[in-house]
Amino acid sequence: MVLSLSSHNVIQYLQDAGLCSSEDDVSDKSELPGSSKNNFNILVTLADNRQLLLKQERNVNNNDAAPHELFQEWLFHQLLQQFPVLGNTSAITPLVVHFDEENSILVRSYLSEYVGLATLYHNNEIFPQEIASAIGTTLAGLHRATYNRREYQNFMATAPQGEFRYGFYNPAQGLGSMGPEIFGTVPTDALKFYVLYQQYESLESAIADLAYSWNPSCLTHNDLKLNNILVHSRWEQLDNCLVRLIDWEACSWGDPAFDLGTLLASYLRIWLKSLVVDPTIELEESLHLALTPLEILQPSLIALIRAYVNAFPMILEYRSDFILRVIQFAGLALIHQIQDTITCHKYFNNAELCMLQVAKSLLTMPEQAILTIFGISESEILNPVAKIHKFPQPVKEQQLLRIYYEKTRLRGC
């Protein structure tokens, strides 16, 4: 890296890149709050009210971190430039206006009239089905348009200058091996998480099975959490431009069930983070006492899956176990989120413990988990879509029991 971007040199940088002509063009610059990773993010407001977000990857030379993430976003941008047919929905149009590979700097147009979906849900405590449907339709459109298309796959295999790419990264991974160094890096409370994780043999084998069945077949976003989805602030008055998927830094050739599972996990986290946890309250009771009950989220969860399948019905012919894999990937995403909480915030308590139990159920008993999570069976979810598209129904309607007793009571874990 040659240049280290800061608020002192950002204007000069924009001038050199031809993105603004003089100091007077800039009316404000501020570091972006809430950005998660090792990137440096700075938001610059130009005098004509245009806003640019500059991101610099700080860990390019750090071998522990996944490098060249900004390159991936730029590659996605290039893909849509080269194959414009892919970008015919504004929801996935990338916002990249400049990429500087040498300094690992990416500049995006900033959409000030949009808000993050996590913020919208958090502030308003409403979960409109049309938003979930718009996301499902958008995601399915991307997966369908790229599914099994060799030309897009080859394009996404392009490596950064001087690097080689031997294959696509399989994100269906467990926690990996743990050595004694763990005692120095995680708080004592959090060791419980690793002990439990290692004790659950069924969990490990379910993850191994998921990794084995991971089937890279289309372009995937790979980091589809609510923070990476923007919603127009006037979404109620608009029919389209409702949602935008952003932060394409992890995109690659992947398994479509992974994206949908990650998204599902983000919704489930709203429920799981709202549990009332206390050492004196049993897990079952906590799940029951959630401030945002699962029932409030269920219409959105169902709308998301139905919209996805409606826009990409063939997925159920390509993958008869698609919905089960989505559920399992949701479980895996929850496990990775607990691990992130531990490593980034040095934090693990009963809420994370509940999350682990739910994640385990999703991974090891996905059939039963469908009933619990959605409140209805797989065939009930798919029925309205099946009527339109006439695809085969799930093989058998088993005599399934809910994982939880009435409402959200956890069973068998």
**Measured torsion, CA atoms of residues 112, 118, 123, 126, in degrees rounded to the nearest 10:** 110
Could you say whether residue 45 binds ligand ADP (CB under 6 A)? no
Question: Using the rule CB under 6 A, which residue among 1, 25, 29, 37 binds ligand ADP?
Answer: 37
Q: How many CB atoms lie within 10 A of CB 289?
A: 16
CA distances from 58 to 39, 68, 96, 228, 345 (A): 6, 10, 19, 20, 20
Q: What is the DSSP letter of 23?
A: G
Binding residues for Mg ion, total number by CB under 5 A: 2
When the beta carbons of 34 and 179 are compared against Mg ion, the nearer one is 34
Number of residues in contact with ligand ADP, rule: CB under 6 A?
19
- What is the three-class DSSP state of 404? strand
Q: Which of residues 148-207 bind Mg ion (CB under 5 A)?
A: none
CA dist 219 and 227 (Å) reads: 20
Rule CB under 5 A: is residue 69 a binding residue for Mg ion?
no
Q: Which does 35 bind (CB under 5 to 8 A by kind): ligand ADP, Mg ion, none?
A: ligand ADP
Type of residue numbered 170? N
| Residue corresponding to tokens 């006492």 | 289
The helix/strand/coil state of 54 is strand
Q: At closest approach, how far in Å is the CB of 227 from ligand ADP?
A: 4
Nearest to 271, CA basis, from 282, 287, 257, 256: 287
Among residues 23 and 113, whose Cβ is nearest to ligand ADP? 113
Interface residues for ligand ADP in 77-136 (CB under 6 A)? 95, 108-111, 114, 116
Distance CA 374, CA 370 (A): 6
**Structure tokens that stand for 85 in this block:** 């047919």
The piece of 9-17, 127-135, 156-164, 244-252 that touches Mg ion (CB under 5 A) is: 244-252
Applying CB under 5 A, which part among 116-124, 175-183, 221-229, 323-331 lies near Mg ion? 221-229
Among positions 246, 268, 311, 356, the unique one binding ligand ADP when judged by CB under 6 A: 246
Amino acid at 37: K
Mapped onto helix, strand or coil, the DSSP state of residue 133 is helix
Q: Which residue has the tokens 């990416």?
A: 106
> Phi and psi at residue 7, in whole multiples of 5°?
-65, -20
CB of 50 to ligand ADP, least distance (A): 12
Task: Determine the residue with CB nearest Mg ion.
Answer: 247
Which of 57, 247, 255, 259 lies at the binding interface for ligand ADP (CB under 6 A)? 247
Can residue 257 be called a binding residue for ligand ADP (CB under 6 A)? no
In the DSSP assignment, the letter for residue 392 is P
Structure-token pair, residue 386: 């099946």
230 binds ligand ADP (CB under 6 A): yes
For residues 245-264, which are near Mg ion according to CB under 5 A?
A: 247
Q: Which of 15, 35, 103, 215 binds ligand ADP (CB under 6 A)?
A: 35
- CA separation for the pair 14, 25 (Å, rounded): 10
Least distance between Mg ion and beta carbon 244 (Å):
12
Confirm or reject binding of residue 228 to Mg ion (CB under 5 A). Answer: yes
Q: Which residues sit at the interface with ligand ADP, rule CB under 6 A? A: 32, 35-37, 39, 53, 95, 108-111, 114, 116, 227-228, 230, 246-247, 249
Q: Which residues sit at the interface with Mg ion, rule CB under 5 A? A: 228, 247
